[in-house]
């Protein structure tokens, strides 16, 4: 999989229809259903209902959503209100705000058809940039896996879904795994189920299986023992927002894995594009944590014996629940950040190095590319 085909992309531009199409991730793993997004409302719904999810993919989808809104009404008022509607869809993944800023800053001083055309080409450019940046995360992470492997099977533990479904192609945490697999390195992934939305079971296991990467599903609560038993060579997770001091916000359950990894001296890597860093957040304490519907916790979803999708209540009738979707792993538990720009320490100094690298690159890049992930 050196060059994953369009088939392994979570979002595509259908030039015949003039519309974006996404894989509806709420139907996976039982049904691969492509859905066309044809209005601002459809885009907002797709992000909010998690038909698309994963920080980088949320960002790219929002960029196309803003372009779609401007194609319907190119006024300043429409720009402001579509930006606000899309930004309100999900609070934690900072790529959402980043991508909306990329488009709105580019078109702010334009009007009419020029504004519409530039918004669309900027969204297309963000899609391409996401593919490149994830491929580059894969290249940087591959070296780390090679170092750990020494010829034996490399056992990677991951949480949630940070594969190509969470981005446009490749993924973040899984990009090094796909690169290793493509190069013939023996790699096996422990897939943590990720209650309550089960992104590990429904999405990560599905996409790894499709790519032919050996993987094993495990209950979230079994990961501490797996690590303690020496069955994990490294943990790689993604991030929804990383603060300027290196604190990492990711799917709830990440923090416990980081604690277990540190206790047993197992490297804990976080893979992310630079667009996931929120330079305005001094620490993880400033990151807004999405509180989701408690029905996600109180119910379970799946197919019944006839293959019909069902949601069943598991908790007793009066049970009160609390459902934060993300947690924060303190920087000192993170061995390194694997980014599209290279591998950096998770610290204020490490991120300052990354920022310096990005400024140099932006200075060297043609004006049209500067500022794109």
Q: How far is the CB of 185 from ligand MRU (least distance, A)?
A: 22
What count of other Cβ atoms lies within 10 Å of the Cβ of residue 207? Answer: 23
User: Cβ neighbours of residue 223 under 8 Å, at least 6 residues apart?
Assistant: 157, 159, 190, 192, 232, 256, 257, 260
Among candidate residues 130, 220, 233, 240, the one labeled active-site is 240
User: Cβ neighbours of residue 3 under 8 Å, at least 6 residues apart?
Assistant: none
Cβ neighbourhood burial of 239 (10 Å; 0-12, 13-18, 19+)? buried
Interatomic CA distance for residues 58 and 77, integer angstroms: 23
The residue among 9 and 74 lying less far from ligand MRU, judged by its C-beta, is: 9
Q: How far is the CB of 200 from ligand MRU (least distance, A)?
A: 9
The residue among 166 and 232 lying less far from ligand MRU, judged by its C-beta, is: 166
The residue among 59 and 116 lying less far from ligand MRU, judged by its C-beta, is: 59
The residue among 176 and 238 lying less far from ligand MRU, judged by its C-beta, is: 238
Q: How far is the CB of 346 from ligand MRU (least distance, A)?
A: 15
- For ligand MRU, the nearest residue by Cβ is 238
H/E stretch holding 99 reads helix 95-107
Active site residue 31: no
Q: What distance lies between CA 65 and its chain's CA centroid? A: 18
How many Å is the Cα radius of gyration of the chain?
A: 20
Cβ neighbourhood burial of 77 (10 Å; 0-12, 13-18, 19+)? exposed
Binding site residues, ligand MRU, CB under 6 A: 53-56, 160-162, 166, 172, 199, 237-240, 250-251, 325
Token pair in block for residue 349: 């100094």
The residue among 9 and 250 lying less far from ligand MRU, judged by its C-beta, is: 250
Return the residue matching tokens 């450019």. 125
Q: How far is the CB of 66 from ligand MRU (least distance, A)?
A: 19
Under 8 Å between Cβ of 346 and 334: yes
Q: How far is the CB of 158 from ligand MRU (least distance, A)?
A: 8
Residues labelled catalytic: 240
């Amino acid at each position: 999989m050196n060059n994953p085909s369009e088939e392994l992309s979570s979002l595509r531009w259908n030039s015949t229809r003039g519309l974006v199409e996404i894989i509806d991730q709420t139907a996976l793993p039982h049904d691969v259903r492509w859905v066309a997004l044809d209005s601002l409302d459809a885009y907002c719904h797709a992000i909010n209902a998690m038909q698309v999810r994963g920080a980088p993919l949320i960002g790219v989808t929002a960029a196309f959503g803003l372009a779609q809104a401007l194609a319907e009404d190119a006024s300043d008022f429409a720009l402001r209100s579509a930006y606000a509607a899309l930004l309100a869809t999900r609070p934690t993944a900072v790529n959402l705000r980043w991508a909306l800023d990329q488009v709105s800053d580019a078109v702010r001083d334009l009007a009419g058809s020029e504004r519409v055309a530039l918004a669309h080409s900027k969204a297309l450019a963000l899609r391409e940039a996401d593919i490149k940046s994830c491929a580059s995360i894969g290249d940087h992470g591959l070296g780390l896996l090679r170092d750990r492997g020494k010829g034996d099977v490399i056992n990677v533990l991951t949480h949630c879904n940070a594969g190509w479904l969470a981005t446009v192609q490749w993924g973040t945490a899984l990009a090094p795994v796909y690169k290793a697999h493509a190069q013939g390195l023996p790699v096996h992934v422990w897939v943590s189920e990720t209650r309550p939305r089960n992104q590990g079971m429904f999405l990560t296991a599905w996409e790894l299986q499709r790519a032919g990467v050996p993987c094993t599903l495990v209950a979230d609560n079994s990961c501490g023992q797996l690590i303690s038993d020496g069955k994990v060579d490294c943990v790689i997770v993604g991030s929804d927002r990383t603060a300027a001091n290196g604190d990492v916000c990711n799917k709830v359950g990440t923090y416990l894995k980081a604690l277990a990894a540190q206790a047993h001296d197992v490297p804990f890597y976080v893979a992310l594009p630079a667009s996931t860093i929120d330079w305005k957040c001094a620490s993880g304490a400033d990151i807004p944590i999405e509180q989701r519907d408690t029905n996600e916790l109180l119910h379970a979803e799946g197919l019944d014996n006839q293959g019909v999708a069902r949601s069943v209540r598991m908790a007793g009738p009066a049970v009160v629940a609390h459902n934060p979707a993300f947690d924060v792993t303190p920087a000192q538990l993170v061995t390194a950040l694997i980014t599209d720009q290279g591998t950096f320490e998770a610290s204020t100094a490490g991120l300052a190095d990354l920022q310096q690298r990005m400024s140099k690159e932006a200075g060297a890049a043609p004006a049209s590319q500067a500022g794109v992930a």
